[in-house]
Structure 1
Amino acid sequence: MPRAILLLALTLLGACADSRTPQAFDQRMAGFVGRPEADLVAGLGVPSRTYDADGRRLLQWDFLQPSTTPAVYPSIGLGFGSFGFGRGGGSAVGVGTGLGFGPLGGGGVPQGCSVVFETRQGTVQGFTRNGPGCIA
């Protein structure tokens, strides 16, 4: 029974990890096209930069996504033990080195994402994205 629960949890976790793609990000951002600029700001927060020219406005958001790669780091361990079997007993001390890692990610370098939306007369016309962190 516990093995089945673990397998189910790992399967669900894998399904969640696979849904974070640039295409999913584009689909989410495309939901703002054709809507008022106020809805865009309400959905994404205050933009990092804005630029007005020729009757259009460009609004830029900069995001930083946590890394999806595992963290790998060196580690050192120290252990002590005692075995009281028989008359003489025994004790031991050990030292070891190795690599530790976080299997679920989040330890690597964060991934950046920049999204620029164009608006005309207060309505979102389209967007562009740039960076490896543009996943949803």
Structure 2
Amino acid sequence: MRLNMAAVMLPLALAACAVGPTLDQRLSAYIGRSEGDLVAGLGVPLRSYETEGRRFLQFEQRSTIAVSQPDPFFWGPRYSVWNVPPASFAEVSCQITFALREQRVESFTLNGQGCR
């Protein structure tokens, strides 16, 4: 019976670890698409710039993440195992810039701590 249970649990455990496509993979789908498709999918860009026959559109993605708690041995006298410090959060952002030529997405670049 244990062998059968392991045979069932292993695929479930592996499926729980599965994650969706990365940000690079999701944005790569826009390569070769029109500027209209890009704006329809991501919304209106924050900034745009044109030079030498190319157009650059910048988008920004912001999210809040939980920051790991400090080591309990260094919490000091205010904290103990029963008096846990409050949760900490930080806002991170990712600037996404698409380069377009002849109204088609040519490439993109990512910049920031929130680019995942």
Which category describes the TM-score, using the shorter chain as reference length? 0.5 to 0.7
Please state how far the C-alpha of 1:111 moved relative to its aligned partner: 1.0
Normalised to the residue count of structure 2, the TM-score between the two structures is 0.68
Question: Which structure has the greater CA radius of gyration?
Answer: 1
- Unaligned stretches of 5+ in structure 2? 1-12, 71-77
Counterpart Cα distance in 1 of 2:69 and 2:105? 39
Aligned partner of 2:62 among 57, 61, 64: 64
Letter in structure 2 aligned against 1:54: E
The two structures have a TM-score, normalised by structure 1, of: 0.59
Given that residues 117 and 125 in structure 1 are in contact (C-alpha distance below 8 angstroms), is that contact kept between their aligned partners in structure 2? yes
Distance 2:53 2:93 in 1: 29
Distance apart, 1:45 and its partner CA? 0.4
Let me know the Cα RMSD of the aligned residues: 2.9
Shift of 1:130: 0.6
Tell me the equivalent position of 1:15.
17
Q: Is the 8 A contact 1:35 1:124 kept in 2?
A: yes
How many residues in Structure 1 have an aligned counterpart in Structure 2? 95
1:69 to partner: Cα distance: 3.1
Q: Percent identity?
A: 35
CA drift at 1:100: 4.4
Checking the alignment, whether the CA contact within 8 Å between 1:36 and 1:122 is kept in structure 2 is yes
Which residue of 2 is the match for residue 52 of structure 1?
50
Deviates more, 1:51-60 or 1:61-70: 61-70
Greater than 4 Å deviation, 4+ residue runs: none
What per-residue deviation string (whole Å, max 9, x for no partner) do you get for residues 95-129 of structure 1? Answer: xx722455xxxx41111100000001110000000
Higher strand share: 1
> 1:25-36 counterparts in 2 under 5 A?
25-36=23-34
User: Which position in structure 2 is the counterpart of 1:99?
Assistant: 84
If asked which structure has higher relative contact order (CA below 8 Å, sep 6+), I would say: 1
Counterpart in 2 of 1:124? Answer: 105
